[in-house]
Structure 1
Amino acid sequence: MKKLVTQAGIFGPYREIEVLDDRYRCDGVDFPFTVVGEGVIEEAQSGDFPLPEALQPEVPQSVTMRQARLALLNIGKLNDVDAALASIPDETLRKAAQIEWEYALEVQRNHVLVQQIASSLGLGNQTLDNLFIEAGKL
């Protein structure tokens, strides 16, 4: 296997690299000098081309209440939500939060109540994102 090293970067691995008058032809694909610049052809080593990072799954902006509760159950935090709601000192806000928790059809990732509950449960932003990703699969 070969690689093409130019001013624009490292390209490859390729089985065959041809040098033409104004371009490189790498396994049948043309790379004009005007785009990649002039370079050198080298033998490619197995570690020269790291595997691409896995695509990060998109964080759902909302999940159903069923999905949210199952995800919380899976991480052992479902029962802690009631305690977090009960700890809200203002009675009106506490009752409003309990109504949201009991009767909402979906849970919005950026809702202020979600942020408060996550904080009470010790869930950071990344953990909360992961929780929503997992909930979206349920």
Structure 2
Amino acid sequence: MTIKAIVNSDDGTILNIIVAGDDPLEAEAATVIVDDPDGQAQIGGTWYEAEGFTKPITSLPPLGPLSARQIRLVLNRHGYLAQVEPAIAAIPDETERNEALIEWTYASSFEPDHPLIASMRLALGISEADMETMWREAMAL
């Protein structure tokens, strides 16, 4: 069995994968057909003449809001929940501290770009990458 990839000749994007004998009539003028003896091609990936095939880049969905339940569960699972209220209590400005406590206590949902989330991330020592990972984990709860 011979596997071939139909590749856009302009940018190397893999458009389709065919087995020898399939009719590559779907290939347009701006495509080339490349042998893929090891079966490495994936639709949406890229083919580079010197490097061969790369996997497609998968984009993650945007971060959405979390419910109060979701954010508390994920913080608990990662050992941060007990640190949130002390971090809020440590905010020096009384108005900011009270507003943060009101937000934390009564908000029914939390947006990833809310200032309270950013300040708590910093106060708890959570990196941006770890916060995004935790946020995605919580979105699935």
Quick check: TM above 0.5?
yes
| TM-superposed deviation, 1:101 | 0.5
Name the amino acid aligned to 1:60.
L
- The Cα offsets for residues 73-113 of structure 1, whole Å up to 9 and x where unpaired, read as 01111001112111101111111111110111111110111
Which stretches in structure 1 are left out of the alignment for 5+ residues? 18-26
Instruction: Choose between structure 1 and 2 for higher RCO, CA contacts under 8 A separated by at least 6 residues.
Output: 1
Cα distance in 1 for partners of 2:13, 2:58 equals: 22
- Structure with the bigger percentage of strand: 1
In the alignment, what sits opposite 1:78?
81
Pair 1:28 & 2:29 matched:
no
Which stretches in structure 2 are left out of the alignment for 5+ residues? 42-52
Cα distance in 2 for partners of 1:58, 1:48 equals: 26
Measured on the aligned residues, the alpha-carbon RMSD in Å equals 2.8
Tell me which structure has the larger Cα radius of gyration. 1
How many pairs are equivalent?
125
How does the TM-score come out when normalised to structure 2? Answer: 0.72
Structure 1 residues 7 and 54, CA gap change in structure 2 (3 angstroms): closer
Structure 1 residues 95 and 7, CA gap change in structure 2 (3 angstroms): closer
Match of 1:15 among 8, 19, 23: 19
- Look up the SS of the partner of 2:63 in the other structure: coil
How does the TM-score come out when normalised to structure 1? Answer: 0.74
Q: Is the 8 A contact 1:57 1:133 kept in 2?
A: no
Question: What percent identity do the matched residue pairs reach?
Answer: 26
